[in-house]
Structure 1
Amino acid sequence: MRTLKVALLGCGVVGTDVARIMTTQADDLEARIGARLELAGVAVRRAGRTRPGIPDHLLTTDAAELVKRDDIDVVIEVIGGIEPARSLILTAFDNGASVVTANKALLAADGAALHAAASRAGVDLYYEAAVAAAIPLVRPLRESLAGDKVNRVLGIVNGTTNFILDKMDSTGAGYSEALEEATALGYAEADPTADVEGFDAAAKAAILAGIAFHTRVTAADVFREGITEVTAADIASARAMGCVVKLLAICERAKDGVSVTARVHPAMLPLAHPLASVRGAYNAVFVEADAAGQLMFYGPGAGGAPTASAVLGDLVAVCRNKLAGSTGPGESAYAQLTVNPMDDVVTRYHVSLDVADKAGVLAQVATVFAEHGVSIDTVRQTGREGDASLVVVTHRATDAALSATVAALRSLDHVRGVASIMRVEGE
């Protein structure tokens, strides 16, 4: 029986679990693929450390030489980042190796070039693990829904921020306190910027939008807003509305049929929505399609073993293709839809204002909303000793109209500040 040789780039949490599963489930993987898998080399950043379960002779610090070997059939890349990952993947393609990667940042920045290189070389590029770890999502969008028209993808795709917001909601903790707990439990990195500022979710949104709408979408096309400004007052206000605050990745087809939008930001989500019940560090993605209707994918979206599960699933598929002398689906960007700016997005808004508790202030505020074409749904006002908090929830309006409204509100003498602005989604 033929043996397929695999090179592993990276031996951190995910890489270690990939190597472990390849070893402990070798016989099962052989039966499923029809060929024996051999771990031919493991590229690591630093030499001298013992990696449990991985023979020392397989370890190398020269990743470039490893991917140049002409006996390597598949390269697994789990080192992350843009470089040297991009150069290593392109070298692997040039040498006839298919690639399985979990690198969302690279795919969101340069996915088109990688797909083109894989196509020229006649090899596969698979990346199920790049979005939502163990949750089967990329392959269903690329293959299972290939005959359908996807209109919207709405999801919680970052476990760190979901844990933080869930903790703020369930315990009343502030943002800093919830982040501290997330860090202590290992859900947040020492530098949590990529998660809490929405960079991680934006990269995933770009990948999902590209697949769902058959259009090239990069991370630069995705509007991004993190959760660092979400306050306990926002959480309480959402609860009063029968909502919960989530960091959402939203990719949707515009009504004009020739454009799409992609965005990541915190939003108030009705408790009746299926995503509202996603707790802790879990991920979930809600897909709406013409024929299939509404689909929801749920599960652990991070961690060594869940991510390794997705990597191994791709590895089995790629190896089967190798044996059959074929390749799987590549990039589908035939639609070439325009990616609209955030100004064109239409949704509802929750606006919290600090105002003077005087007669006529509410009328002034309402007039500003009307002048900019933003219809008010509800108003709630509380006041004490000359100060008041005014919460306005709007009907659907464009982001541009809401921004103009807020700018005008800030110029009013009796408006002391705009405490918060949050979108209301999922209704």
Structure 2
Amino acid sequence: MSVSLPDLADALLRAARDAGADAAEALTIQGTALSIDVRNGTLEMAERSEATDLGLRVFVGHRSAITSASDRSATTIAAMAERAVAMAREAPEDPHAGLADPQQLASGWDVATLELADAAAEPDPAALERAALEAEAAGLAVPGVSQVQSANASYGAQSLYIAASNGFSGGYDRTSRSVSCVAIAGTGTEMERDYDGDARVFQSDLRSAAEIGRLAGERSVERLSPRKPATGTYPVLFDERISSSLIGHLLSAANGSAIARGSSWLEGCLGEQVLPDHLSIIEDPHRARVSGSRPFDAEGLPTARRAIVENGVLTGWTLDLASARKLGMDSTGNAARGVSGPPSPATWNTALTQGSQGKAELIAAMGTGLLVTSMIGSTINPNTGDYSRGASGFWVENGEITHPVNECTIAGNLRDMLRRIIPANDARPWLSRVVPSLLIEGMTLAGD
């Protein structure tokens, strides 16, 4: 049964005030999730969940505490507030803790322009099962595929509302649809696995289940009979499916929490070149039909388009209120939180400048090297940027793909790697992180 999230938030704030809090912030979330898995042509698992979650953050001076619950009764709300205030009184003082000033708060947003929720009715389980079965059948139809490990279709809907004693209140709805397939080619010790999937806000934007299953099957077959590459220094092309992880490392290093802790390889690099001078990273939280969009952050501050890197130069950190206060800066409106934890900085939709060449052109130009399509494990030093990851993909000889490779390691230093990236033009524009395939010359490759 639907509940009024604004009413629950107001009840939490009243209870906090009655319990003795100087200030408080309430987060209420109501969600539904439905997931269907099939295997060997039959239903393997069906899951459905519905929940209403409450989170309360209270302040007693510069001391704070958080409580959460999934019971919305008046008795529970009162107990949450009393416990939160009691905990806050025992917590250490934090001079940077506190709500936003009223003049900082977002106002006048238009959620409709973001198209965060599909108005179509929730799909019934049978429709999701049909989609999963279609993906599985398409994967199995690819010659060389021996089995489909999993095929899934899912739906999610969420309503969120935030209210605080500084006068902020607001909320919005979200929906999500997805289909995925993991196919296995070969048998015995010669098996190889790969996947495909798609996740969208609107059902009408979702790629067909048949296409997803077919691509998963084709990718797994392409990986059969891999070899180890020769150890040496080669150009490495990170496929678009995994290239966003490289930009993710830069975004993590530019996170205000890491900078305030002094645990980032980008510390001291503000205003310096971190990418080639023709490349930028733009954050835009107002893109329609994209999962990372939102009209305001978890502290009620307005979100806005900004350049994290502009023409290769790092222009700023990603900040919530606490990290901004620690650094003597202003929040960038990037606070994220759940009902049981405090806000922390997070990026929304980001996009790297695309190049002028396609992936095939970069392959032809790279001569001899490695096209990486999947990675496992991770050894990344957050303080120095030293980078080492297990990889698999395809060997390129004289500008042509010759055979699949696995059991190799690629290594370098992120500070140097990112300044040498050459982007392709193949990024998927509907993703929250839009990053094309990336070529990096002169990486260390450990194989045979």
What is the TM-score normalised by the length of structure 1? 0.24
Going by fraction, where is helix more abundant, 1 or 2? Answer: 1
Going by fraction, where is strand more abundant, 1 or 2? Answer: 2
